[in-house]
Structure 1
Amino acid sequence: MDAELTRRHWQGHDYDGDFHMYDGKLPIVATGMKHLQEHGPAGAVVRRFGRPHHQTLIEAIGNPRREAYDARKQAEYAARRREHQQEVRCIAAQHRAEREARRPVCVGCGTRFTDERWKAIEPAGWGARWETHPHLCENCKQRAITTER
């Protein structure tokens, strides 16, 4: 039998029982005029060595179980990625909420400090200018300075 003599050229290797890996192998297919006349060239007229039934040419040279395996793995990866992104968004939201909870409030008017004002009252090192009214927002600070003069 021709298929047995050429087995090492076309037989795939089992991959975890999910599909056969055909890397480095040749898909050897055969058909007959009788099948071509009955079903036409687009019909299930081709027999691939190692497969039990006739297929279309595209099916015979393809590896549908591997394609299904790859699609399943891609879907799993996409699901894990979406899950991870959701976790990252939740952590970022939690960090933003914690930061906002730490944001100083003006003792004069009760408004929360802007990012710029918050940064201005933070200690910046030995050479930094000393903030005269660290518990007041910018507007209340300006009023306090004007009142002091």
Structure 2
Amino acid sequence: MSSVPIVATGLNQLRQHGPTGPVFLRFGRDHMQPLLEAIGNPRFEAAQACEAEEAKARAAAYQAEVRRADQEQAAKQAAEREARRPVCTGCGAKFTDARWEAVEPKDWGATKDAHPHLCDSCKRAVVAAAQERQEPVRGEAGPDDSWPHPQRPVCTECGAAFTDERWKATARRIGWGSPAKRPSLCGDCDQRFEADLDRSWGVSPRQEERDQEQDQAVPEQKTTGWLSRLRR
């Protein structure tokens, strides 16, 4: 409960010290004071100042708690995001933010990444190797993009990669006819195999097949005269 201060002064004090000097006496006090000090209440003001400091401390503690909670939430979200970060199937390195964003599903009809499971370095290495072999990169436009083999076959005899012609000859696709007899061999090894058969048997089975095909392809000509009688 606040009280109304009662102060008093005299003309002699006012003449001697002026209205701003220590010429006012507040009832209950034993010394003269300037007007503002006489009507003030130091204990009340001290209590108010103390309360203000406590309120300021409580506000600072609350703000610190809010910041700590925000930091903990941000750290939790960052840990969950890192747990979802893709890992390169080639080298095992984690994707960068830019690479992760590049392989994320896009809108309908948007171009998809050709190698979504590889990091930038491994993707560049795969693309460079494909260009050196002169084969189209899978996932991009090219005549061999729909082939069932994800990688170019390799000869089981010499280890060389198949050429495009040999790859097509050994691939099983509708409308291409029968595949090659030895699909695990490259063209050179297949020819050497045929040459070995020629040396072993004297006549190449492939040559016999070609002769039979030619005989079937050429129609029998009708002959007359003594040659026809001989054939009969």
1:105 aligned to 2:87? yes
Secondary structure of the structure 1 residue equivalent to 2:75: helix
1:30 aligned to 2:13? no
Shift of 1:74: 1.1
Q: TM-score, normalised by structure 1?
A: 0.63
Q: Which has the higher contact order (CA 8 A, sep 6+)?
A: 1
Query: How far apart, in 1, do the equivalents of 2:58 and 2:30 lie?
Result: 32
Backbone CA RMSD of aligned residues:
3.1
Shift of 1:67: 1.9
Q: Give the aligned residue type for 1:60.
A: G
1:127 aligned to 2:104? no
The 1:129–1:67 alpha-carbon spacing in structure 2 relative to 1, beyond 3 Å, is same
Shift of 1:127: 2.8
Structure 1, unmatched stretches of 5+, are 1-10, 14-26, 34-39
Query: How far apart, in 2, do the equivalents of 1:69 and 1:113 lie?
Result: 54
1:137 aligned to 2:114? no
Q: Give the aligned residue type for 2:130.
A: E
Count of residue correspondences:
114
1:88 aligned to 2:75? no
Shift of 1:123: 0.6
Name the structure 2 match of 1:19.
none
The 1:108–1:75 alpha-carbon spacing in structure 2 relative to 1, beyond 3 Å, is same
Secondary structure of the structure 1 residue equivalent to 2:116: coil
Shift of 1:54: 6.7
Query: How far apart, in 1, do the equivalents of 2:84 and 2:38 lie?
Result: 64
1:147 aligned to 2:98? no
1:60 aligned to 2:47? no
Does the aligned pair in 2 maintain the 1:117–1:137 contact within 8 Å? yes
**Structure 1 residue runs of 4 or more that deviate by more than 6 Å after TM superposition:** none
> Percent of aligned pairs with the same residue?
36
Query: How far apart, in 2, do the equivalents of 1:136 and 1:58 lie?
Result: 83
Structure 2, unmatched stretches of 5+, are 11-20, 132-232
The 1:132–1:29 alpha-carbon spacing in structure 2 relative to 1, beyond 3 Å, is farther
Give CA-to-partner distance per residue, 1:20-67, whole Å, 9 cap, x none. xxxxxxx7452668xxxxxx95xxx863x7xx6679728925522222
Q: Which has the higher strand share?
A: 1
